Amino acid sequence: MNDTHFPLAVHQPFDWPLIAGFLAPRCIPGVEAGAGLAYRRTIDLGGRHGTIEIGPDRAGERGEGALGVTIRHPDAALHPAIVARLGRQFDLMTDIAAIQTQFAQDALLAPMVAIRPGLRVPGAWDPFELAVRAILGQQVSVAAATTLAGRVATLYGAPLQLDDGPPPAGLSRVFPTPAALVAADPGVLRIPTKRAETIAGLARAASAEPGLFEGRLPLDELVARLDALPGIGPWTAHYIAMRALREPDAFPSGDLGLRKAMAVAGVLPSFKEMDARAEAWRPWRAYAALHLWMSLGGSTGG
């Protein structure tokens, strides 16, 4: 299995350091790792394990500010599909001119856009993985959610199996499949019983209806379907839609970090006031949410 390097097409401006900084504290131990401006993770594709590493384009094929990916996977025929999937995961080709123009007219967002013109919404390699992570992040800190996600991967994920050579630093497991989590044990995971039941219910739904995580449903219908699952409320449903399924208008309005960033003279808005304020940001509310989170230092947001 040889490492293969590909330059990635990126629609500028694109702020990779910002995304790398957002992802670093959220990396699932054993499954993902961040080192400086590099992000690496394990993948399970076509029934075979592999790894990817994305970061500044070390080969320089596309000039300053470009990105590159190093793929380690035994099936070379899948490499173009991996590159395309990464393009969606990291929102590489969005033309953000329309978003910038709209937000520049908003008193709250305009200074944030001026500071971070290349901001994107970091997506997910595996939507089910991100959905589990979102459940684990309910009402806990980013650091706590990361620890819990690592525990899930360690206890239920398969050991990383590469055809040749040792794995990259920090990578040892692939994230568990839905089938592996349908009987998630709260005692083993050391999480509340209801939280484990929510993960198990999500796993059953993903097993029964794979299309749930393929981005085929309109936003309102998707949120309603997810919200109907026990233990998944509107915040979690919108967060999943926003990051796992790349819904540009998803907006987890119940998020405390968003409330803090939207406060006026230190007064937090009500949920109703948040929703009303966010109407001006349609159809790009997910990008507004990222700007708001990053204005607080990126320490909130699941």
Q: Indicate the SS3 state at residue 28.
A: coil
CB 226 within 8 A of CB 257: no
CB 14 within 8 A of CB 87: no
Burial 70-97 (b: 16+ CB within 10 A, else e): bbbbeeeebbeebbebbbebbbbebebe
Output the CA angle 83-124-200, nearest 5 degrees. Answer: 135
**Omega cis (within 30) before 168:** no
Q: Give the active site residue among 44, 57, 126, 255.
A: 255
Label residue 91 left, alpha or beta by phi (over 0 means left) and psi (-120 to 50 means alpha). left
3-state helix, strand, coil in the chain (%, to 5): 45, 15, 40
CA distances in angstroms from 136 to 83, 181, 252, listed in the order given: 29, 13, 16
- The reply to whether 15 belongs to the active site is no
CA-based nearest residue to 134, from 220, 234, 38? 234
> Which residues carry out catalysis?
255
